């Protein structure tokens, strides 16, 4: 199914976002609306005509609505039985679609709240006839807490999460000890967490946080950072950064048996 698009909507991850009330608090305490960890930041963007048609035509087949109850993964994937990987924040879905095609026996449950990105991935699903992706357009933290059984995931992908470059924003980064413990608890033995970032200070924090989690072991103990797994493609933003001399760091940790 080929759903034409009319507007390019590829958005790079942004750091030019307004500070939250948490950052502007004068008493040094977090604003009550911003205390809970979230897996996303709202970004501006317009849904194109092609993405809107993908929502209408493919949404009923590939969107999993958020409900605060355990999800039957086999039923959600139309009876497909296979390992399930959770992807947190897929942007415009280019890498997600590629990985799903090179790992056809794996089911991918993908969380993203950016509506144009959800529409773009739905459009790719139709164009490439991908059957092993389901999308939950909701905060991944809620999905993990309420929809997924502990010990069931074969893997978790967190690729290029917002680095929150400014020091005062570092506390808003997704990869933090409490969240990593939550992820590890939802992995089955031998399951993995694969993170990637192009911001070295965040890579160093990821390495420290993941390395401190007793449920996990680093698959690259000598260097700390793993070679890029073959299934993860180079995105156009990553390619652009590499041409400018920027580094990219992959981290792959497995759950201990």
C-alpha to C-alpha distance for 79 and 177, rounded to whole angstroms = 35
Chain centre distance of CA 245 = 25
How many whole angstroms separate alpha carbon 173 and alpha carbon 36?
Answer: 12
CB 69 within 8 A of CB 146: yes
Q: In the block, which residue shows the tokens 């070295």?
A: 200
The neighbour count for residue 106, using CB atoms within 10 Å, is 17
Dist. CA 43–CA 19, nearest whole Å: 13
Lookup: tokens for 72? 């039957």
Beta strand pairing call for 107-111 and 133-136 = parallel
Alpha-carbon gap, residue 95 to 238, rounded angstroms: 11
Cβ proximity of 232 and 250 under 8 Å: yes
Active site residue 162: yes
Residue 66 CB partners (closer than 8 Å, separation 6+): 136, 137, 138, 142, 143, 147
Distance CA 52, CA 36 (A): 31
What H or E segment, with its residue span, contains residue 157?
strand 153-159
Q: Which of 139, 142, 162, 222 is catalytic?
A: 162
- Cβ(58)–Cβ(126) below 8 Å: yes
Q: Catalytic residues, which ones? A: 162
């Amino acid at each position: 199914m080929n759903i034409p698009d009319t507007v390019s909507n590829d958005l790079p991850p942004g750091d030019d976002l307004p500070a939250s009330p948490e950052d502007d608090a004068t008493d040094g305490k977090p604003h009550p609306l911003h205390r809970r960890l979230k897996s996303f930041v709202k970004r501006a963007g317009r849904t194109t005509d092609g993405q809107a048609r993908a929502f209408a035509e493919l949404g009923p087949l590939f969107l999993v609505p958020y409900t605060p109850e355990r999800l039957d993964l086999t039923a959600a994937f139309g009876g497909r039985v296979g390992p399930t990987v959770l992807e947190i924040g897929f942007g415009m879905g280019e890498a997600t679609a590629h990985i799903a095609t090179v790992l056809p026996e794996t089911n991918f449950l993908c969380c993203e709240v950016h509506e144009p990105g959800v529409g773009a991935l739905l459009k790719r699903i139709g164009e490439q006839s991908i059957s092993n992706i389901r999308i939950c357009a909701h905060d991944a933290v809620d999905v993990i807490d309420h929809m997924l059984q502990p010990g069931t995931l074969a893997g978790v992908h967190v690729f290029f999460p917002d680095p929150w470059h400014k020091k005062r924003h570092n506390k808003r980064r997704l990869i933090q000890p409490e969240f990593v413990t939550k992820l590890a608890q939802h992995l089955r033995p031998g399951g993995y967490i694969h993170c990637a970032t192009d911001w070295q200070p965040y890579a160093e924090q990821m390495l420290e946080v993941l390395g401190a989690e007793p449920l996990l072991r680093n698959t690259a103990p000598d260097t700390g950072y793993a070679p890029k797994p073959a299934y993860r493609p180079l995105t156009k933003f990553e390619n652009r950064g590499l041409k400018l001399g920027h580094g990219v760091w992959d981290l792959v940790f497995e759950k201990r048996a």
